[in-house]
Copies of this chain bind each other. A is one copy, B any other.
Amino acid sequence: MATLGDLERTVMDLLWTTPEAMTANELRDAIAEAPSGEVGRELAVTTVLTVLSRLEKKGLVKRERDSRPHRYMSVTSREDHTAELMHEVLVTAPDREAVLARFIGSVSEAEAQTLRKLLGGS
């Protein structure tokens, strides 16, 4: 189960919200530029690179190796990743019906509405 640390999470968030593939340097700068509420962290580029390698090993990140400053990007969208995680969690329980029942109870009305729409007919 791919659980992410704080920094790993921060990096993934940046990769997920940036349309373009990013270099380690760009990421380092982006992290320094007030990432969501955190203290602006001045990290060494090597730190970012290490994290990227680890994320790559986990299959969450891929990189363009040919372009010289390697450019990194996420393998899946945040939405796909999140949905996958949710599913992984769901299947850990034998009684999925019961889990879904409770899950439904925890979502907002708006989300319930969305679900109805998505589940549509049949």
Contact = CB atoms under 8 A, between A and B. Distances in A.
16 contacts: A79-B95, A80-B102, A83-B99, A83-B102, A83-B103, A83-B105, A83-B106, A84-B106, A85-B89, A87-B103, A87-B107, A89-B89, A96-B114, A112-B119, A116-B119, A119-B119
A44 interface: no
Given A3-B1, A89-B89, A107-B87, A102 B116 contact: no
Interface of A: 1, 3, 78-80, 82-87, 89-90, 92-107, 111-112, 114-116, 118-119
Main secondary structure, interface of A, reads: helix
Contact of A118 (B85, B93, B101): B101
